[in-house]
Amino acid sequence: MAKPGRLGVGIIGAGKVGAVLGAALRAAEHAVVGVSAVSDASRERAETLLPGVPILEVQDIVERAELVLLAVPDDALPGLVEGLAKLGAWQPGQLVAHTSGRFGVGVLHPVRAAGAVPLALHPAMTFTGMSLDLTRLLDCTFGVTADAAMLPIAQALVVEMGAEPVAIAEADRTLYHAALAHGSNHLVTLVAQASQAPARGGCGIARAHAGAAAAGHAGERAGLGGVGADRPGCPR
């Protein structure tokens, strides 16, 4: 018997983020009803992480889904949302979540205007686009923004994916994104310096590399995603 409250989920963007989050939601017994994938790499990723899920056109996915996950690059998000609104694609009561760290729910105004429910679910983690990311989600924090009445739904979706939700007010979203970018840049410098450290005092390059890796992992757990892989919210 299926768990109560299971949703039909549509994934728009089978990049490194979208395919992994789709697989995590599927593992929580939600039904992934469709995924969009344009490039050969995205199609291969969808077939690997979401086997059996049909690859569909974006509008068809929105028509079928109760929860639409927009896992597209930041710059593409406003135009995508507006374009689907002009087509009359958004449905009243539908949940629409994006994965961008840059935006809160304001960018989903056309979704709200259509009677759908806007959510912002940003995973503060780097993604490889492989199944190992599903395990790494257990150490991940999501920056979650939603209307007060809908915040428990957004938080529950994150918990179902195995991660930890942290509520970010709409007014604080810009500061949140800037803090992640600032921390990420410092962490890149730290890792680079550690990996270039010369061997001295018995602490050789191998130990420097180990320290750099540990620092990177600790930074991700603290919400400093964006080192060495796709930045969250910018899948390809």
The C-alpha atoms of residue 173 and residue 156 are separated, in whole angstroms, by 20
What is the residue type of 21?
L
What is the CB neighbour count within 10 angstroms for residue 63? 16
pLDDT in tens for each of the 236 residues of the chain? 557 779 999 999 999 999 999 999 999 999 999 999 999 999 999 999 999 999 999 999 999 999 999 999 999 999 999 999 999 999 999 999 999 999 999 999 999 999 999 999 999 999 999 999 999 999 899 999 999 999 999 999 999 999 999 999 999 998 888 888 765 554 445 445 544 555 444 443 343 344 334 434 444 444 433 332 343 433 33
The C-alpha atoms of residue 176 and residue 29 are separated, in whole angstroms, by 31
CA 72: distance to chain centroid?
Answer: 9
Enter the pTM of the model: 0.79
CA-based angle 136:137:138, to the nearest 5? 85
H helices of the chain, where? 16-27, 40-49, 58-64, 77-86, 109-113, 132-136, 151-160, 173-195, 205-221
Q: What tokens appear for 67 in the block?
A: 């929860």
